[in-house]
């Protein structure tokens, strides 16, 4: 029995070389592919770096521009002012007297709406052309300091503050700051003398045939913001009370005076004869300077 052998074909030399060449070619292709991918990755990384650097540069430029704008804005905008230091009574004018309810925020340290310091009242009047504020009506100045008398923007001494109808003559009284400037603070018995010292007249006042010879009046209670026309009998402003003083109304009213401090307090009716002996009271009232109607 014959045994058949299955013989493998012999590899030729050329066949081995071809396979080796093929492997080598494949390896070279892989290397080339890897190299190309590496180059591409490097290029992408470089591009990313370039973009990041450009973005950083732009951001830096924008930041500098913002800072420059902010600096320019700060230079153009004023810094917020510090709160005003109000309380400094040493700066008060001589006529502004110390004591409770003086009405001067420079003494109290608290400014109410519309309120002025006594020095601001002087400044306002001086800007309007008043040369000596010490001769001006303190009742009027107290009204200005409290914010009751206000001049409109651009106003002057001849700006009409009040327009009232008279009781005696039934004519209109156009009351300006100029008419109130030198009005006496105490009318006394002027009502019996035809109001010779009054500074406010009606629009028809005069002594001609068609003019009004009775159109004279006082304007009282300016300091309290309740101005009213008066014959003078009830026009009594005490200049010895705190601040620029306070109206006592009836000309026969007067304040008690503390003998130790000189402060005014608790006004009362003393009659037309003048001060009573008990007006200057002793130790039981010492230290009280408040002046208000009892």
pLDDT (0 to 100) of residue 123? 96
279: closest CA among 249, 259, 250, 252?
259
Same domain flag for 163 and 266 = no
Pairing of strands 264-269, 253-257: antiparallel
Predicted pLDDT of residue 58:
74
Last residue of a domain, one of 251, 268, 283: 251
Based on the fold, state whether residues 273 and 164 are members of the same structural domain. no
Q: How far is CA 5 from the centre of its chain?
A: 122
One domain for residues 265 and 247:
no
pLDDT at 276: 47
Tens digit of pLDDT at every position of the chain (294 positions): 555 555 555 555 455 555 555 655 555 655 666 566 566 576 776 777 777 777 777 767 667 766 666 555 555 555 666 666 788 999 999 999 999 889 999 999 999 999 999 999 999 999 999 999 999 999 999 999 999 999 999 999 999 999 999 988 889 999 999 999 999 999 999 999 999 999 999 999 887 777 888 899 999 999 999 999 999 999 999 999 999 999 999 999 999 999 998 899 899 999 875 554 444 444 343 333 344 333
Q: Which residue has the tokens 């107290």?
A: 142
Instruction: For residues 58 and 54, give the distance between their C-alpha atoms in angstroms, rounded to a whole number.
Output: 6
Host H or E run for residue 217: strand 216-220
**What's the pLDDT score for residue 18?**
55
Residue-level pLDDT at 28: 63
144 lies in the same domain as 233: yes
pLDDT at site 48: 74
Together in a domain, 204 and 263: no
Angstrom distances, CA of residue 136 to CA of 205, 219, 230: 24, 14, 19
Residues 130 and 199 in one domain: yes
Task: Answer yes or no: do 127 and 269 share one domain.
Answer: no
Is residue 237 a contact partner of residue 244, using CB atoms and an 8 Å limit?
A: no
The whole domain housing 260 covers 252-294
- pLDDT tens, 99-110? 988 999 999 999
Q: How many structural domains is the chain composed of? A: 2
In a domain, 209, yes or no: yes
Instruction: Say whether both 220 and 128 belong to one domain.
Output: yes
Quick one: which of 227, 241, 168, 159 has its CA closest to 201?
A: 168
CA 280 – CA 256 distance, rounded (Å): 6
Task: Judge whether 37 lies within some domain.
Answer: no
pLDDT of residue 111: 93
Sheet of 200-201, strand order: 200-201, 216-220, 228-230
| Own/partner pairs, 272-277, CB within 8 angstroms, 24+ separation | 272/189
**Residue 30 maps to a domain:** no
One domain, residues 169 and 277: no
CA distance 134 to 93: 9
Whether residues 191 and 146 fall in one domain: yes
Residues 280 and 239 in one domain: no
Query: Is the backbone of residue 274 left (phi > 0), alpha (psi -120 to 50) or beta?
Result: left
Q: Does residue 273 fall inside a structural domain?
A: yes
Residue 18 lies in a domain: no
Other CB atoms within 10 A of residue 170 CB: 12
- Give the CA dihedral 63, 64, 65, 70, nearest 10 degrees: 90
Asked if residue 53 is part of any domain, the answer here is no
Q: Which pLDDT does position 33 carry in this prediction?
A: 61
* Residue 84, domain member (yes or no): no
Q: Is residue 168 located within the same domain as residue 287?
A: no
For residue 4, being part of any structural domain is answered with no
User: Alpha-carbon distance 237 to 153, whole Å?
Assistant: 29
């Amino acid at each position: 029995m014959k045994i058949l052998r299955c013989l493998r074909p012999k590899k030729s030399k050329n066949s081995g070389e071809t396979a080796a060449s093929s492997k080598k070619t494949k390896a070279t292709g892989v290397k080339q592919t890897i190299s190309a991918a590496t180059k591409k990755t490097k290029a992408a990384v470089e591009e990313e770096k370039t973009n990041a650097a450009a973005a950083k540069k732009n951001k830096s430029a924008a930041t500098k521009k913002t800072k420059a704008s902010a600096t320019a804005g700060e230079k153009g905008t004023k810094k917020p002012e510090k709160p005003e230091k109000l309380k400094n009574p040493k700066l008060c004018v001589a006529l502004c007297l110390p004591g409770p309810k003086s009405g001067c925020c420079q003494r109290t340290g608290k400014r109410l709406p519309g309120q002025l310091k006594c020095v601001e009242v002087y400044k306002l009047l001086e800007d309007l052309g008043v040369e000596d504020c010490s001769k001006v009506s303190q009742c009027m100045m107290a009204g200005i300091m409290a914010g009751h008398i206000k001049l409109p923007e651009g106003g002057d001494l001849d700006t009409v503050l009040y327009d009232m109808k008279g009781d005696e003559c039934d004519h209109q009284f156009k009351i300006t700051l100029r008419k109130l400037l030198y009005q006496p603070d105490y009318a006394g018995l002027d009502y019996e003398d035809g109001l010779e010292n009054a500074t406010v007249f009606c629009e028809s006042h005069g002594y001609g045939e068609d003019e009004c010879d009775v159109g004279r009046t006082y304007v009282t209670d300016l300091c309290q913001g309740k101005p009213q026309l008066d014959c003078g009998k009830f026009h009594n402003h005490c200049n010895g009370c705190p601040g620029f003083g306070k109206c006592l109304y009836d000309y026969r009213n007067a304040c008690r005076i503390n003998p130790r401090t000189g402060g005014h307090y608790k006004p009362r009716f003393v009659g037309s004869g003048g001060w009573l002996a008990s007006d200057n009271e002793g130790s039981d009232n010492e230290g009280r300077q408040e002046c208000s109607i009892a």
